[in-house]
Structure 1
Amino acid sequence: MEALNLLESFVLAAESGSFSAAARRLGLTPAAVSKNVARLEAHLGLRLFQRSTRQLTLTLGGERFLRQVSDPYAALRDAFANASEDESRPAGVLKVSMAVAFGREYLVPLLGEFLERYPAIVPDWRFENRTADLIADGIDVAIGGGIELTEGVVARELAPVHIVATASPAFMAGRKMPRHPSELSEMDGIVRRSASSGRLRYWTLRNQIGEQALAEPRMRAIFDDPEAMAHAAMQGLGVALLPMAHAAPLLQRGALVRLLPGWCADSGALSLYYPNRKLLPSRTRVFVDFIVEAFRRPELQSRFDGR
Structure 2
Amino acid sequence: METFNSIECFVRSAEVGSFAEAARRLSVTPAAVGKSVAKLEARMGVRLFQRSTRSLRLTEAGQLFLREVSSSFNTIQNAVANLASAGGQPAGTLKVSMGTAFGRLYVVPLLGEFLRRYPAISPDWHFDNRQVDLIGQGFDAAIGGGFELPQGVVARKLTVAHRVLVASTDYLQTHAVVKEPEDLSQHQGILIRSPQTGRVRSWQLTSRNREHSPLTLKTRMTMSDSEADCAAAAQGLGIGLVSMPIAVPFLESGVLQRVLPDWYVDDGNISIYYAEHKLLPGKTRAFVDFIIEQFAEQGLAKRFSAV
Q: What is the TM-score of this pair, normalised by structure 1?
A: 0.93
Q: For 1:283, give the aligned amino acid.
A: K
Q: For 2:163, give the aligned amino acid.
A: I
- Secondary structure of the residue aligned to 2:303 is coil
- Secondary structure of the residue aligned to 2:296 is coil
1:203 counterpart residue number: 203
Measure, in 2, the Cα distance between the counterparts of 1:282 and 1:86: 11
2:78 counterpart residue number: 78
Measure, in 2, the Cα distance between the counterparts of 1:28 and 1:173: 63
Measure, in 1, the Cα distance between the counterparts of 2:57 and 2:236: 51
- Secondary structure of the residue aligned to 2:131 is coil
2:256 counterpart residue number: 256
Q: Which moved more, 1:119-128 or 1:168-177?
A: 168-177
Measure, in 2, the Cα distance between the counterparts of 1:75 and 1:83: 12
% identical aligned pairs? 51
- Secondary structure of the residue aligned to 2:179 is coil
Q: Indicate conservation of the 8 Å contact 1:141/1:272, yes or no.
A: yes
Q: Indicate conservation of the 8 Å contact 2:129/2:195, yes or no.
A: no
Q: Which moved more, 1:261-270 or 1:50-59?
A: 50-59
Measure, in 1, the Cα distance between the counterparts of 2:22 and 2:31: 11
Measure, in 1, the Cα distance between the counterparts of 2:88 and 2:44: 41
Q: Indicate conservation of the 8 Å contact 2:167/2:257, yes or no.
A: yes
Measure, in 2, the Cα distance between the counterparts of 1:105 and 1:203: 25
Q: For 1:19, give the aligned amino acid.
A: F
2:22 counterpart residue number: 22
1:128 counterpart residue number: 128
Measure, in 2, the Cα distance between the counterparts of 1:88 and 1:47: 40
Q: For 1:73, give the aligned amino acid.
A: F
2:158 counterpart residue number: 158
Once the two structures are TM-superposed, the CA of residue 96 in structure 1 deviates from its matched residue by 1.2
Unaligned 5+ segments in structure 1 are none
Deviation string 1:245-270 (CA, Å, 9 cap, x unpaired) is: 11111222333222111211211000
Once the two structures are TM-superposed, the CA of residue 197 in structure 1 deviates from its matched residue by 4.5
Q: Indicate conservation of the 8 Å contact 2:192/2:242, yes or no.
A: no
1:148 counterpart residue number: 148
- Secondary structure of the residue aligned to 1:142 is strand
- Output aligned runs, 1:162-173, within 5 Å: 162-173=162-173
1:98 counterpart residue number: 98
1:179 counterpart residue number: 179
Q: For 2:83, give the aligned amino acid.
A: A
- Secondary structure of the residue aligned to 1:268 is strand
Measure, in 2, the Cα distance between the counterparts of 1:262 and 1:297: 27
1:59 counterpart residue number: 59
Measure, in 1, the Cα distance between the counterparts of 2:279 and 2:165: 44
Unaligned 5+ segments in structure 2 are none
Deviation string 1:32-61 (CA, Å, 9 cap, x unpaired) is: 222222222222222222222322211222
Once the two structures are TM-superposed, the CA of residue 191 in structure 1 deviates from its matched residue by 2.4
Distance 1:50 1:229, change over 3 A: farther
1:224 aligns with 2:224: yes
1:280 counterpart residue number: 280
- Secondary structure of the residue aligned to 1:271 is strand
Q: For 2:268, give the aligned amino acid.
A: G
Q: For 1:32, give the aligned amino acid.
A: A
Q: Indicate conservation of the 8 Å contact 2:130/2:195, yes or no.
A: no
Once the two structures are TM-superposed, the CA of residue 165 in structure 1 deviates from its matched residue by 0.3
Measure, in 2, the Cα distance between the counterparts of 1:187 and 1:86: 58
Deviation string 1:287-307 (CA, Å, 9 cap, x unpaired) is: 111111111135423331111
Distance 1:243 1:4, change over 3 A: same
Once the two structures are TM-superposed, the CA of residue 166 in structure 1 deviates from its matched residue by 1.0
Distance 1:303 1:54, change over 3 A: farther
Measure, in 2, the Cα distance between the counterparts of 1:169 and 1:117: 43
What is the RMSD of the two structures over their aligned residues, measured on CA atoms? 1.9
Distance 1:241 1:41, change over 3 A: same
Once the two structures are TM-superposed, the CA of residue 18 in structure 1 deviates from its matched residue by 1.3
